[in-house]
Amino acid sequence: SYRIFLFQELTLNELLDQENVLQELKSQNAKLIDFITRPDIMSQLVSLVTEEPSAELDEAMRYQRPNLACEVLTTDIRILNERLSDKNLLAKLYSFLEADPPLNPLLASFFSRTLSMLICRKTDQNWYSYQFTCLQVLDFFKSCDNSLGLLLKHLGTSAIMDLTLKLITQIEGEDMQRIIFNWLENEGLVSRLMSLFDPSVDSDRQYNAAQLLCDTIHKCRDMACLSSEHKDIGPILSAIQSVFNFFRPEMTEKLLGHMLGGELSESSIVGGISVLLTLLGPSPRNFNLYKMFIFSSTGSGEPAEVLNPPLSTISAIVPYLPKLHDLLINPPKKDTVKLACGTVDPPLGSTRLSVVKLLAALIATNTLKVNEMLDELGTINVLLDLFFHYTWNNFLHTQVGKCLAFALNSSEDIETNPLISSIFIKCRLLQRILEAWKENEAEQSKDGGKRRGYMGHLTNIASTVVKHFEGGNDFLNKNVDPDTMTAWNDFVETTLGPINVMKERCLVSVLNFFLFI
């Protein structure tokens, strides 16, 4: 009952045991707010959300009061927010991060919610109240010697990563944004994040550091789009870019150096490549500006018209292509995997799949240095070996198909593009397609024989080749032996052509069905 709020000697635990405490608080019960905002009660609330509850408590009840304390602290009442932003309370709250990792994930979520409430403005929140509490928090961060270091220390905890991202991307107000970005720049945030990709760092922190960097890159690009529409965003964007100048080649080199410089770590390589892919890829806001190559039912498609990232980023990656190539052949060791289709030893692994994704993104840029290096290394041949070896890995088949499609659809002249000659002369693509097709037919003709898992992708690759040379086969006739060309032309006419016609009819039938239902 609300009458309990009238007692003078009420304890916080007695209050939290009441079913209607949150409802009364949200309805602005004056006596309850006065009680909650007492310094001693505020301190107890912070203790509840940051200190491990007694192990003697029943497991079902152990986190009931900490959860309620978090709900109370995040009810977004002006005076409560302002009291919570007191330096002493912030110090007590932030001391939660002084513990050794890993943090209790539930308490970490309470801590993150509580601090986020002070730095992220609600839609209907009073601007001056938000400005006051946010500035208090920012001043606290600046006054502490290791506030950023503690966040990075626990970046492997998802709630702490979310809080760090909000700190970077969700603070409002030009002055406060300048304060936070200047502080982050002085603290060397990006350099410290890059250092987390050292193989000695635990995998959770590496994956979360990668996610944080990727989300921040997207934020920078979105801000760049908005700055062309709203001039007042320009100074803020400049501040962001001074902190997150990802396109500086030394940053890319530092990332790659940590990923590939010592003992191999899958989480370091996969996380680092996800950052590189974000740098090389389009902004979600600008995705309509990109014509990405898509395999149609016949494998045809228009050349990918891609807005290239800065050449400095690509140039910084090129010297590391030999090490990336070597990862395709000598990846980190993986245990044997048993699947419904059989035993895979060794499995392809996330490392090699990520490397192939990166190669597809690099080939899409149609950069001469990249094409020359991949030709020199013989990377396309290795990709084809993997394609045919891992019969059932369609994730791999998709990425290898993209590599070939981007190479074939480059604007560079066929005769001068080293990747084209590598694909058809050194790698013997036509011969390998024909051989794989015959092997599949022989396999299917056996009792209980199965169609190989890559056949759909192989059909698309073959169709892409046909589409690319629609204007004439002079290059192929000059560089592929006559017997293979005769077999290829026969295959296209008698096997591939009918398959594509059938697929086209099926696609039209499906489209017509959906148009008229």
Q: Per-residue pLDDT tens for 272-304?
A: 999 999 988 864 444 443 333 333 333 444 433
C-alpha 371/C-alpha 374 separation (Å) is 5
Instruction: Determine the residue type at 434.
Output: L
> Final residue of a domain: which of 147, 172, 197?
172
Specify which residues 344 forms β-bridges with: 337
Contact assessment for residue 65 and residue 48, using Cβ atoms and an 8 Å cutoff: yes
Which residues, 6 or more positions from 450, have their beta carbon under 8 angstroms from its beta carbon? 443, 444
Q: Look at the chain and count its residues.
A: 517
C-alpha 358/C-alpha 363 separation (Å) is 9
- On whether both 163 and 203 belong to a single domain, the answer is no
**In the chain, what's the furthest Cα-to-Cα distance?**
99
**Within a domain: 177:** no
Average pLDDT score, the chain: 86
DSSP string, 133-198: HHHHHHHHHHHSSSHHHHHHHTTTSHHHHHHHHHHHH---SHHHHHHHHHHHHHTTHHHHHHHTTS
What interhelical angle do 234-243 and 174-186 show, nearest 10?
10
| Number of alpha carbons in the 13 Å side-chain half-sphere of residue 100 | 0
Q: Indicate the helix (H) or strand (E) that contains 338.
A: strand 337-339
**Within a domain: 183:** no
**Within a domain: 296:** no
Specify which residues 337 forms β-bridges with: 344
**Within a domain: 36:** yes
- On whether both 410 and 497 belong to a single domain, the answer is yes
**Within a domain: 181:** no
- On whether both 262 and 330 belong to a single domain, the answer is no
Residue ranges of the chain whose pLDDT lies below 50? 1-2, 234, 283-307, 511, 513-515
C-alpha 46/C-alpha 24 separation (Å) is 20
- On whether both 161 and 206 belong to a single domain, the answer is no
Residue at token pair 């959300």: 49
- On whether both 317 and 421 belong to a single domain, the answer is yes
Q: Indicate the helix (H) or strand (E) that contains 323.
A: helix 321-329
Sign of CA dihedral 457, 461, 462, 464: positive
Give residue 298's pLDDT.
Answer: 32
- Examine residue 101 and say whether the peptide bond preceding it is cis (omega within 30 degrees of 0): no
Identify the DSSP state of 9: T
Contact assessment for residue 36 and residue 42, using Cβ atoms and an 8 Å cutoff: yes
- On whether both 29 and 140 belong to a single domain, the answer is yes
- On whether both 346 and 488 belong to a single domain, the answer is yes
C-alpha 206/C-alpha 271 separation (Å) is 6
**Within a domain: 346:** yes
- On whether both 13 and 79 belong to a single domain, the answer is yes
Residue 416 backbone phi and psi in degrees, to 5:
-105, -5
**Within a domain: 35:** yes
- On whether both 168 and 192 belong to a single domain, the answer is no
Q: Please, what is the end-to-end C-alpha distance for the chain in angstroms?
A: 58
- On whether both 128 and 228 belong to a single domain, the answer is no
Give residue 241's pLDDT.
Answer: 59
> Final residue of a domain: which of 113, 138, 172?
172
Q: What is the pLDDT of residues 220-249, one digit of tens each?
A: 777 666 655 555 554 555 555 555 566 678
C-alpha 320/C-alpha 256 separation (Å) is 7
Closest CA to 373 of 293, 315, 313: 315
- On whether both 274 and 423 belong to a single domain, the answer is no
- On whether both 328 and 452 belong to a single domain, the answer is yes
Q: How many domains does the chain have?
A: 3
**Within a domain: 232:** yes
Q: Indicate the helix (H) or strand (E) that contains 273.
A: helix 266-280
In this prediction the pTM is 0.86
Domain range holding 428? 311-516
Residue 320 backbone phi and psi in degrees, to 5:
-95, 0
Contact assessment for residue 137 and residue 118, using Cβ atoms and an 8 Å cutoff: yes
Identify the DSSP state of 337: E
